[in-house]
Homo-oligomer: A and B are copies of this chain.
Amino acid sequence: MFSRSSKYAIKGVLYLALHASVENKIQAKDLSAPINAPAPYIAKLLQELARHNMVSSVKGPHGGFYLDEVNLQMNIMQIIEIIDGEDKFRSCLLSLEQCNSENPCPLHNLVGDQKLGVIHNLENTTIKELVADVKQGNSILPL
């Protein structure tokens, strides 16, 4: 459903949101183990996210990654769009150009409503809210 890159990115962001802060930045190499992703790869992804202001970073000694209040207001859909591109999610299930709500493809009616629901939820829940959920024990974030 998501690309592997997106999964790593999402896990990385959530982990940072949960465990990092301005006073306690986390380095790329220290993210590798807890989210179960190769270190150089997660580093590259975090840089891409930083370039798009999804995460904050500082260079040099005692540098690393963290999320500031602005970053915490971002949502999962934005991560996916940065990593996988805009329309990976929104396009027709069969990649039919002519497909839309007026001229739906056979699968459109079958799963269209759920798809819209998924998109809506991914867009309208902030990282902060997701992390609050973890803190309250309503969800978990292991490897």
Contacts and interface: CB of A to CB of B under 8 A. Distances in A.
Given A2-B93, A11-B94, A94-B11, A109 B139 contact: yes
Q: What number of copies of this chain does the assembly contain?
A: 2
Contacts of A113: 117
A28 interface: no
A31 to B, nearest CB: 14
Interface string A1-36: 110100100110010000000000000000000000
A94 B7 contact: yes
Interface residues of A, number: 43
Interface string A47-90: 00000000000000000000000000000100000000000010
Nearest to A130: B106
Given A115-B118, A117-B114, A134-B106, A142 B96 contact: yes
Interface in A86-113: 89, 93-99, 103-111, 113
Interface of A: 1-2, 4, 7, 10-11, 14, 76, 89, 93-99, 103-111, 113-115, 117-118, 121-122, 125, 130-131, 133-134, 138-143
